[in-house]
């Protein structure tokens, strides 16, 4: 196990106990999973404070716990800001591609304009030469 992870797992229970005292919460259950494996599972306080029944990780009824634990293994799915950031990055890539395509088409249009001007000059010259030739031929 990584050193940072061992230190975090050592610190988390003390921090939770402290937060429980500050917030005066009756109970709290935590689970820490890493790479698909539950590394820490603890309960603090009472499931039923009036009857003095201690809270355990197993007496907490939470139907979707497994679903949420799996979901939170992938931060991009769980964290809305990360999802938005990813979406923005995808949009940015699409915009860059579209701009590159647009610039390429702009260059192609510039080339067509140059060719069009050249064609226009050639057609004007052809017209003048044809008119000149026709005037020589039909001037009887």
Spatial CA neighbour of 38 closest among 14, 72, 75, 62:
72
Q: Please tell me the distance from the alpha carbon of residue 88 to that of residue 76, in angstroms, as a whole number.
A: 13
Q: Give the 3-state secondary structure of residue 53.
A: strand
What pLDDT shows up at residue 94? 93
What pLDDT shows up at residue 61? 66
Q: List per-residue pLDDT tens for the chain, 140 residues long.
A: 788 888 989 999 899 889 888 888 888 888 888 887 888 888 888 887 788 888 887 776 666 767 777 777 776 666 777 788 888 999 999 999 988 888 888 888 888 888 888 888 888 898 888 888 877 775 55
Domain extent listing, the chain: 3-63, 74-140
What pLDDT shows up at residue 92? 93
């Amino acid at each position: 196990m990584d050193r940072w992870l061992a230190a975090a797992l050592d610190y988390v229970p003390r921090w939770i106990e402290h937060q429980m005292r500050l917030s005066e919460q009756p109970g709290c259950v935590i689970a820490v999973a890493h790479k698909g494996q539950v590394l820490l599972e603890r309960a603090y306080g009472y499931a039923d404070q009036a009857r003095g029944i201690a809270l355990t990780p197993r007496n907490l009824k939470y139907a979707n716990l497994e679903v949420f634990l799996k979901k939170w293994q992938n931060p991009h799915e769980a964290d809305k800001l990360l999802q938005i950031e990813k979406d923005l990055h995808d949009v940015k890539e699409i915009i860059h591609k579209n701009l590159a395509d647009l610039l390429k088409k702009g260059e192609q249009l510039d080339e067509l304009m140059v060719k069009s001007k050249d064609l226009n000059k050639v057609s004007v010259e052809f017209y003048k030469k044809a008119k000149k030739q026709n005037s020589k031929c039909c001037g009887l």
